[in-house]
Structure 1
Amino acid sequence: MLATVPIVYKVIFLCAAGFLSAFVDSIAGGGGLISIPAYFLVGFPPHYTLGTNKFSATSGSLVSTIKFAQSGKVDNNILKILVPCAFLGASAGVTTVLLIDPNILKPIVLFLLLAVGIYSFFSKTVGMEDNFKGVNRKNLILGGIFAFAMGFYDGFFGPGTGSFLIFGLIGIYGFDFVRASGNAKALNFTSNVTALILFAINGKIMYLMGIPMGIFMVFGAYTGSKVALKQGARFIKPIFIIMSFAVAVKMIYEMFIL
């Protein structure tokens, strides 16, 4: 535990963890596997961990979204429908989590994460080519339902949201991993902002450490997005699979060992 070390070392540790988590998250999601344990290690209480992490991660998520958008990997015609759906879903999810224990979702989410990871691992073609044929009524409706569901899930529970978003966008629109990651970042940013506002209203953010960590997350997100856009789908796919399995392993540990 780092709870007893001087605050300057805590900040340095959090900044390093923030850079790495945002770097990974901008590529394939799953950055919370690094940032949330980092907050716990320096002694943050659970609610402040979640709130401050949302504050820091949202800045990195915004930078990733902008970087992908500048490279033409974000589809505005789709997002103008999906973003409001994600916002409504996240709002409903945060409200529902106050009434229902989110742990009821753990077995379902664990199964889905493993299924996504295994399918992506064995499929040679999934996400490797951009087969997007344009917008139509069917994929907009499916995308809207999916965005609402993912927003709700992120507000209600959260683990694996990035993996589910990327995989779902590939399935619905035929995107490759690069394009799916860009659009997933925009949707994830929407649900992050929604949760961030609610955490801020309830005073669950420690700005003293959240601000410097957020700055380093901006650098991490920018670097990760740049690498992902340069290296393409063949670079993103293995990281996507690793992060999907990593979230699943974390959940197995929490369910059966802790």
Structure 2
Amino acid sequence: MPGPEVLLYGIPLAFLAGFIDAVAGGGGTITLPTLFFMGLSPAQVVATNKLLAIFGSATATLQFWRKGNVEKALVLRLIPLAVIGSALGAYLVRFIDPNAFKTLMGFVILGVGALVIMNKKFGLEDRYPGLTARTLALTLPGAFIIGVYDGFLGPGTGTFAMFLFALAGFNLVRSSGNARTINFATNLGAFVTFLIGGHMVFWIGLPMGVANALGAALGARMAMLRGSAFVKWMYGIIVVLVALKLFSGK
């Protein structure tokens, strides 16, 4: 078990992860390697990461929710499917080769990122048409699939969710708010599961969780203040980082 000195780098990195995750998703690409580097077992890493992630995702969700950047009528319909998908994804881990799946998702997220960055107008204007049949046909299965991915693998869940909401017509600030809310729901489901399993290292996860929450609060405010163009720039960076994480096989 590591000593308390690991918090000297764990806390600032958790803050950075919270900031990045609130803006464009992908905070797990920072916190997961950090927890591994501390010397925790794989089970402790995954469980403790969910403990600190619940702080950040809850804080970011609250920030976006208060400012009206969450489409409540839509998101509340999607949360149950996302949570069910997350449970299914956790079950499927034992049947599918994780490394092959990581490689596939690495190519997928690079393709998604290219579509967002190369289309100059994509995500910069809010064109959400409301709860139309097309919106529900896109987002209901999309939320379920994203939930499965989060339960199975995890890194970049918020980034994928942002793309889904941008496809539905939201600008990237509102897409980020909706994505954080969905991610909070899936994190909460996983948190309860891991809490029961008993692998969380609380003396690491709690202070890093507070730092993650502070970073998430700043990131959410920055995203809303600077607008969709800033979020799009950050999104491109996070896509590359998530893809590298997936291709690394670690």
Q: Could you say which TM-score interval applies, normalised by the shorter chain?
A: over 0.9
Query: Post-superposition shift, 1:57?
Result: 0.7
Q: Which residue of 2 aligns with 1:149?
A: 145
Q: SS state of the match for residue 128, structure 1?
A: coil
The letter of the residue matching 1:118 is: A
Query: Post-superposition shift, 1:125?
Result: 0.6
Aligned residue-pair number: 250
4+ aligned runs moved over 2 Å, structure 1: 98-104, 250-254
Q: Name the CA distance, whole Å, in 1 between partners of 2:88 and 2:193.
A: 12
Q: SS state of the match for residue 80, structure 1?
A: helix
Q: Which residue of 2 aligns with 1:73?
A: 69
- Segments of 5+ residues of structure 1 without an aligned counterpart are none
Match status 1:225 vs 2:233: no
Aligned counterparts, 1:208-247, within 5 A = 208-247=203-242
Q: Which residue of 2 aligns with 1:53?
A: 49
Query: Post-superposition shift, 1:163?
Result: 1.4
Q: Name the CA distance, whole Å, in 1 between partners of 2:37 and 2:82.
A: 31
Instruction: Say what the alpha-carbon RMSD is for the aligned residues.
Output: 1.4
Structure 1 residue corresponding to 2:5, chosen from 4, 9, 25: 9
Match status 1:106 vs 2:102: yes
Query: Post-superposition shift, 1:178?
Result: 0.1
Q: Name the CA distance, whole Å, in 2 between partners of 1:67 and 1:130.
A: 19
Deviations 1:135-174 (A, max 9, x none): 1123123211110110011001122211111011111x20
Structure 1 residue corresponding to 2:156, chosen from 149, 156, 160: 160
Deviations 1:64-123 (A, max 9, x none): 001001110001110121011101111111122234333331232011111011122211
Match status 1:63 vs 2:91: no
Q: Name the CA distance, whole Å, in 1 between partners of 2:103 and 2:179.
A: 24
Q: Which residue of 1 aligns with 2:80?
A: 84
- Aligned-residue sequence identity (percent) comes to 36
Task: Give the TM-score normalised by structure 1.
Answer: 0.93
Q: SS state of the match for residue 27, structure 1?
A: helix
Q: SS state of the match for residue 81, structure 1?
A: helix
Task: Give the TM-score normalised by structure 2.
Answer: 0.96
Q: Name the CA distance, whole Å, in 2 between partners of 1:115 and 1:195.
A: 28
Query: Post-superposition shift, 1:22?
Result: 0.4
Match status 1:126 vs 2:103: no
- Segments of 5+ residues of structure 2 without an aligned counterpart are none
Name the stretch that deviates more: 14-23 or 115-124: 115-124
Structure 2 residue corresponding to 1:184, chosen from 171, 179, 182: 179
